[in-house]
Amino acid sequence: MPFIDSLPHVKGRLVENAPLSRLSWFRTGGPADVLFEPADEADLVSFLRHVPGDVPITVIGVGSNLLVRDGGVEGVVIRLGRAFSQIDVRGDVVKAGAGAMDVHVARAAQKAGLTGLEFMVGVPGTVGGALPMNAGAYGVEIKDVLIHAHGVDRYGHVHELRAADFNFGYRSSNPETKNLIFTRASFQAHTGDPAEILFRMEEISAERQESQPIGTRTGGSTFKNPEGKKAWELIDAAGCRGMRIGDAQVSEKHCNFLLNLGSATAAQIEELGEAVRAKVLEKTGVELEWEIRRIGRTAEEQTSA
C-alpha cells in the first residue's frame, strides 16, 4: 500500500513526493515523502492524533531559514499555510497565526497605531518559526513582546505557553518547544504615532537592504553570533568572504549569509558552511553554531535507502 494511503483522512491537502525546493528560499533540496497542509487547527489536531506513531513528522514555514537536503525529507512534512496567516488587532494586543509573515505582523500593528513590533519587519519568515528560535532584529526579540502562544504536540494535544514557559535565550528556547507545532500567538504592543512607527520600520528595511543580500537565494543569517562576538566579523577575519564551492558562495555583501548563485545543491551549501566553520575555528578558536535549520536526507542516504 502506498505510504500516503496509510495516513489519516484530512480536510486539507496531502501531496505525495512534493517538491520542497520551491518552498525554500535557497531553492534547493529534494521532495517530501508527503506534504500536509492542514485546513485549520482542528484538522492538524485530528491528523496528529491518528497518524501512526512511527511516521516521522517535520514542520516548515516559508523556508526562509531552512536548508532542505538533496535526498528529501522522510515521512510527513507539515506546512502551515494561508489558513494560519490571520492577524487580528484587539486593543494593544496583536494576535497572529503561525503562518503569518513577521513583516505582515509589523505592518498590521503600525496601521493600528501600535508600537513595539517594528523589529519584526526585519525578521524574515513566519510567526511559527520565530517563536522557538526567539527571532529578533535591531535589539528586540520575540521574548520582549510575546504574551502567550498555542502549540500542538506530536499526539494532537493542544498546549498554551506563556512567555516564561519558553525559557528564552539567544536564538533559543526550552528544548521542549521544538516538539510543538505552534499555531498562533499573541504579542503585546503599545499605543504610538503611526507616522513615527512607519518611519522606524522604513529605517529598518533600508538598513537591511543596504547591509544584507536581500532578494537573493539565501537562508538568512547562517550562524549564530557567539557570545560577545559577531559571526560575520569572525568569518571575515578567517578570509571566507566570497568563498565558493560550485554555485554556493559566502556573500561578499554580508559574509554571514550563504548564497545559491544558481545551480548549487544543498550538499554544496552545507559543505561550504562546514568549511567556513572549520576556517573560523582554526583562525579564531571559536566554533560557530548553525542558525539555519537543516532537514532531510543527503542524496547518498536516499540512494542507500
CA dihedral 188, 191, 197, 198 (to 10 degrees): 100
DSSP 216: S
CA distance 26 to 67: 7
Q: Tabulate helix, strand, coil % of the chain (nearest 5).
A: 35, 30, 40
Please report, as a single letter, which amino acid is at residue 49: R
Grid cell listed for 46: 485530528
Residue 213 has a CB neighbour count (10 Å cut-off) of 17
CA distance 33 to 45: 20
Grid cell listed for 55: 511516521
In 3D space, the residue among 297, 268, 263, 293 whose CA is nearest the CA of residue 69 turns out to be 297
Residue of 24, 64, 173, 221 marked catalytic: 221
Residue of 21, 27, 154, 171 marked catalytic: 171
CA distance 205 to 185: 24
In 3D space, the residue among 59, 54, 46, 62 whose CA is nearest the CA of residue 8 turns out to be 46
Query: 18: helix, coil or strand?
Result: strand
Active site residue 291: yes
Distances (CA, A) of 71 to 131, 236, 263, 297: 28, 31, 16, 5
Distances (CA, A) of 31 to 20, 54, 89, 261: 5, 20, 37, 21
Which residues does the annotation mark as catalytic? 171, 221, 291
